């Protein structure tokens, strides 16, 4: 019966026809176009137009309300009928609402209730669509809710379970982007149900591209096929895609693979309110010095993903090791080599009630739509919080719960790959480190053998653009007379370049290099570094991935040393 409707509206229709619910919350991708299958193809309408003209097309009256526009109507008949009813009310109580409609929720709700009861008593059918519902009944705790918000909540709750409203052909639709932005009492009301509108899938994107360009010559618009454009626009909604097509049409700029990737990144970052950032690099795992076993392991994951074996991938990785060992660089290079986008979560927390959860809901919806995608969270021990966190009205514990639940969704295995990075894995909640979430624990350590030290020197020389006057490997590095992490080596080589520039030398001579390396004193926190190192050893989930010097260490001794170091470090 509803096969020509999108899935979310089929669910909407089934629930409404059960005659037990008349109040619905639509959330998610609510500012997009809605596909509607017709005999001559698929057409696309704005959500409110779809609801009013198609979904509620047979209703006698359809009314819209939002805080900025006030009350408005689907058609002139609905408006005329409402004005007639309000004029009668004005003559009775002396108001002048027929001349100037109120916009504030309290007076609007009062007017609407009187109108609804009048028309439902006459067996008329009515639909009410409230846009930007979060401005009418915003998220707030019971102690801080204002009188206006409280009154709006009472009206909406009453309409949801009033026997007269339930027995009549009446529906209230609340539209909001983030469910977390709405008052929890309303969302959890047993007489109210919420339905999520997802970002369109690849098939819907292709149909829209074909619909939008049916009068165009595709060769004039794009250098890549429509199927490739549909594939590469994962994470974008139809309005975003229309923007890409319009730019190609109006500005005569053909769509290219590179241009499409850049436009997609800009649009997704804008959709996520700047809370997501794409991480890009031209490097691959070949540019990562040392960490031989870990690189080999990650390359096996690359092969699995490229072969379509998402089922064998871990849900996520915990990458740990002392500061300066190149955790972030390694993960970025992995994403570059496997050919999937890598995004970094930026600070989504807010001081305002409910905003943090709303931001996170938006981010997680985008990640699901963008798949396959890798997600990088640096300093994860501090960033993700804890289930038992307190002191912020429960925000941190709710955020933790949202992320933990999303990470453990097995439908995302191999499609959303999590990388949680930390120098202190012992501070990470066990809930996130367990199997089914960050399943694979990788440990990185400073170079130990001569081969590793030389490899790190050569890699950092290339990265920093170090030009030597002759081929030369410093003895200090070959013999391991000083311990350098990747960050230390980069800083020391940059100083060598500085010394050469100060001496008007175009290239760094062996003497200058030796002097710079000998002079370099990295900040030393020996106990903290040892604590981070041993924590990484004890956290690693594969003996093969540990350097030989750590494989046969007694784990009880390591744990005892860690506890002693924690006490001394404080």
Percent residues over pLDDT 70 in the chain:
95
Looking up tokens 């060598």 gives: 496
Q: Is the pLDDT of residue 334 over 60?
A: yes
Contact 104, 39 (CB under 8 A): no
Distances (CA, A) of 554 to 257, 537, 539, 568: 53, 11, 14, 21
Is 106 found in the same domain as 163? yes
Is 388 found in the same domain as 285? yes
Is 175 found in the same domain as 28? yes
Range of the structural domain that residue 108 is part of = 7-197
How far apart, in whole angstroms, are the C-alpha atoms of residue 359 and residue 341?
Answer: 21
How far apart, in whole angstroms, are the C-alpha atoms of residue 23 and residue 192?
Answer: 5
How far apart, in whole angstroms, are the C-alpha atoms of residue 141 and residue 144?
Answer: 6
Q: Which of 367, 21, 25 is nearest to 187 (CA)?
A: 25
Is 383 found in the same domain as 285? yes
pLDDT tens digit sequence for 368-409: 888 888 899 888 887 776 665 555 556 677 778 888 888 888
Q: Point out the domain boundary residue: 443, 470, 492.
A: 443
Range list of H helices, 479-554: 486-502, 510-519, 526-539, 548-551
Q: Point out the domain boundary residue: 226, 254, 271.
A: 271
Q: Which of 43-47, 88-92, 221-225 has the lowest average pLDDT? A: 88-92
Is 375 found in the same domain as 283? yes
Q: What is the CATH number of the domain that holds 227?
A: 1.10.8
Q: Is the pLDDT of residue 522 over 80?
A: no
Q: Which of 86-100, 199-213, 335-349, 538-552 has the lowest average pLDDT? A: 86-100
Is 154 found in the same domain as 94? yes
Q: Point out the domain boundary residue: 443, 463, 478.
A: 443
Assigned domain for 2 exists: no
The half-sphere exposure of 164 on its side-chain side, counting CA atoms within 13 A, is: 14
pLDDT at residue number 353 = 57
Is 396 found in the same domain as 284? yes
Assigned domain for 398 exists: yes
Looking up tokens 């977390």 gives: 180
pLDDT tens digit sequence for 101-130: 889 999 999 999 999 999 999 999 999 999
Is 266 found in the same domain as 129? no
Is 438 found in the same domain as 297? yes
Total domain count, the chain = 4
How far apart, in whole angstroms, are the C-alpha atoms of residue 320 and residue 372?
Answer: 24
Is 173 found in the same domain as 127? yes
Is 372 found in the same domain as 255? no
pTM for the whole thing? 0.75
Is 564 found in the same domain as 427? no
Q: What is the CATH number of the domain that holds 29?
A: 3.40.50
Assigned domain for 112 exists: yes
Contact 319, 378 (CB under 8 A): no
- Partners of 279 in the β-ladder: 342
Q: Which residues contact 60 (CB under 8 A, 6 or more apart)?
A: 78, 119, 124, 125, 126
Distances (CA, A) of 243 to 197, 263, 510: 20, 10, 56
pLDDT at residue number 567 = 85
């Amino acid at each position: 019966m509803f096969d020509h409707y999108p899935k979310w509206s089929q669910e909407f229709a089934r629930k409404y026809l059960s005659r037990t619910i008349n109040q619905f919350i639509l959330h998610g991708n609510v500012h997009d176009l809605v596909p509607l299958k017709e005999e001559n193809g698929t057409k696309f309408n704005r959500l409110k137009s779809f609801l009013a003209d198609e979904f509620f097309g047979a209703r006698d009256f359809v009314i819209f309300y939002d805080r900025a526009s006030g009350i408005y109507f689907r058609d002139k008949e609905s408006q005329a009928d409402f004005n007639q009813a309000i004029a009668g009310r004005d003559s009775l109580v002396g108001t002048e609402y027929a001349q100037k409609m109120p916009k504030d929720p309290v007076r609007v709700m009062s007017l609407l209730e009187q109108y609804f009861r009048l028309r439902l008593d006459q067996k008329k059918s009515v639909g009410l669509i409230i846009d930007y519902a979060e401005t009418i009944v915003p998220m707030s705790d019971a102690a801080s809710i204002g009188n206006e918000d409280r009154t709006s909540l009472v009206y909406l709750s009453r309409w949801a379970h009033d026997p007269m409203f339930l027995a009549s052909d009446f529906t209230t639709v609340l539209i909001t982007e983030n469910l977390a932005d709405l008052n929890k009492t309303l969302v959890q009301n047993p007489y109210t149900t919420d339905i999520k509108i997802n970002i369109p899938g690849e098939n819907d994107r292709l149909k829209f591209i074909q619909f939008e360009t049916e009068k165009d010559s595709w060769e004039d618009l794009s250098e890549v096929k429509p199927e490739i454009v549909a594939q590469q626009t994962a994470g974008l909604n139809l309005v975003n895609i229309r923007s890409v097509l319009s730019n190609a049409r109006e500005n005569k700029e053909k769509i290219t693979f590179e241009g499409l990737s850049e436009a997609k990144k800009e649009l997704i970052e804008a959709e996520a309110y700047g809370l997501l950032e794409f991480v890009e690099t031209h490097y691959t795992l070949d540019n990562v010095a040392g960490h031989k076993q870990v690189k080999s392991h990650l390359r096996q994951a690359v092969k699995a993903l490229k072969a379509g074996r998402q089922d064998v991938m871990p849900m996520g990785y915990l990458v740990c090791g002392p500061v300066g060992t190149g955790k972030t660089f390694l993960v970025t290079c992995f994403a570059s080599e496997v050919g999937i986008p890598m995004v970094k979560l930026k600070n989504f927390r807010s001081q305002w009630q409910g905003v943090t959860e709303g931001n996170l809901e938006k981010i997680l919806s985008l990640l699901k739509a963008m798949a396959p995608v890798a997600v990088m969270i640096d300093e994860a021990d501090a960033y993700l919080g804890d289930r038992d966190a307190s002191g912020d009205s429960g925000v941190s514990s709710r955020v933790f719960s949202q992320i933990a639940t999303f990470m453990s969704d097995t439908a995302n295995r191999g499609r959303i790959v999590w990388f949680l990075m930390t120098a202190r894995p012992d501070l990470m909640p066990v809930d996130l480190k367990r199997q089914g979430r960050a399943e694979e624990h990788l440990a990185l350590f400073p170079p130990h053998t001569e081969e590793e030290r030389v490899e790190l020197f050569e890699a950092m020389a290339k990265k920093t653009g170090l030009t030597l006057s002759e081929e030369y490997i410093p003895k200090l590095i070959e013999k391991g007379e000083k311990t350098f992490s990747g960050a230390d080596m980069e800083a020391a080589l940059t100083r060598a370049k500085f010394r050469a520039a100060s001496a008007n030398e175009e290239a760094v001579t062996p003497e200058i290099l030796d002097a710079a390396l000998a002079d370099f004193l990295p900040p030393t926190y020996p106990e903290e570094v040892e604590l981070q190192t041993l924590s990484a050893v004890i956290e690693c989930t594969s003996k093969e991935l540990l350097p030989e010097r750590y494989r046969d260490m007694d784990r009880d001794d390591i744990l005892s040393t860690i506890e002693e170091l924690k006490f001394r470090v404080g």
